[in-house]
Amino acid sequence: MDKMLNHSQSQTGLAGNTASVNEVMQLADRVIATGEGVSETEASQLASAPLDALKDAAERITRACASRKFDTCSIINGKSGRCPEDCKWCAQSAHYHSHIHEYPLVSSEKLSEAAEFSRSKGIGRFSIVTSGKRLKPDEVEQLCSSVRELAAKKDIKFCLSAGLLSEDDLKVFHEAGISRYHCNLESSPSFFGQLCTTHTQEEKISSLKAAMRAGLEICSGGIIGMGESLQQRIELAFTLRDLGVKSVPVNILSPIPGTPLESQPLISEEDVLRTIAVFRFILPDAFLRFAGGRARLSPQTTLEAYRIGINASIMGDMLTTAGADIDSDMDRIRAAGYDL
């Protein structure tokens, strides 16, 4: 954090608004030599650089700076639906009519069964995700009890995504066996207010900081393709860098019928790859984690994403949408040269 560059500081004197092929490679050389990401000005110039050069340079950074041990995780929808928040992308919001299953916290037995399935597939992390702004005190107690039981007998790391929890609750979960807390920022500070009005991004950031004080690792990323610009995606990446986030989920919007974004046009596979490449320049040593929506990508694009920056993934189904086949995913990850 103390080595972080000022967002607007340009260090290479790039001419114009677009980086040339040579300038892209020079920036990659500097990132590899220093281990520090580019400035926001430089990232903006990279955003419109020749795509092939951008991808090749991002691959060099990924190989030099990021882990070659692919980080796998799976998630379970531990509590579904009737969320009071009005996030426009989300099928679980009570404000919309998306026809999903609704249920309270799942039992310890169901959590155990899902965690064991993930472990048997060679997945390294198991994350419990709950709908709602935050858990109620009795839900915290119930879920902590389940986590203690799981952590005592399952050889897998446990993560939690449960909204805007207090530092005290986060400490209790850490003591129970949770090692990482997840709370997506979803989009840039300048765009988030157009997507949600019932809570602020500042509240999310406060929860992530509370999780760190509680001794937890943090995981936070966003959804691309919700109508934001590439510059706003860059803004998100720098917000994450400022927070010191090392696990960054990259979701691709899957427009869900019944939500306000149901008619949002799908972004192109080229746009997805460009975003991943620029993120790698900004976050050279982070785990860039494929998450929701990537199951629609072609096998070729998926392999290309692994090559240029993706070195982590949520495996299997997502919360309310189908994911990719786990065994096929594992084969592609190995084919891309990663260790599992």
Tell me the domain boundaries of the chain.
Answer: 65-335
Determine the pLDDT at residue 21.
96
Statement: the pTM of the whole predicted model exceeds 0.85: yes
By C-alpha distance, which of 140, 130, 135, 189 is closest to 160? 130
pLDDT score for 9: 36
Q: For the chain, list the strands marked E by DSSP.
A: 71-79, 125-130, 157-161, 178-182, 217-219, 222-224, 247-252, 287-290, 310-314
Bridge partners of residue 146, in order along the sequence = none
- Please tell me the predicted confidence (pLDDT) of residue 16: 54
Question: Low-confidence residues of the chain, pLDDT below 50?
Answer: 1-13, 15
Question: Domain 65-335 maps to which CATH number in 3.40.30.10, 3.60.40.10, 3.40.190.290, 3.20.20.70?
Answer: 3.20.20.70
Smallest CA-to-CA distance from 272 within 291, 285, 247 is with 291
Residue 323 confidence (pLDDT): 64
Task: Provide the β-strand partners of residue 329.
Answer: none
Sign of CA dihedral 181, 195, 43, 297: positive
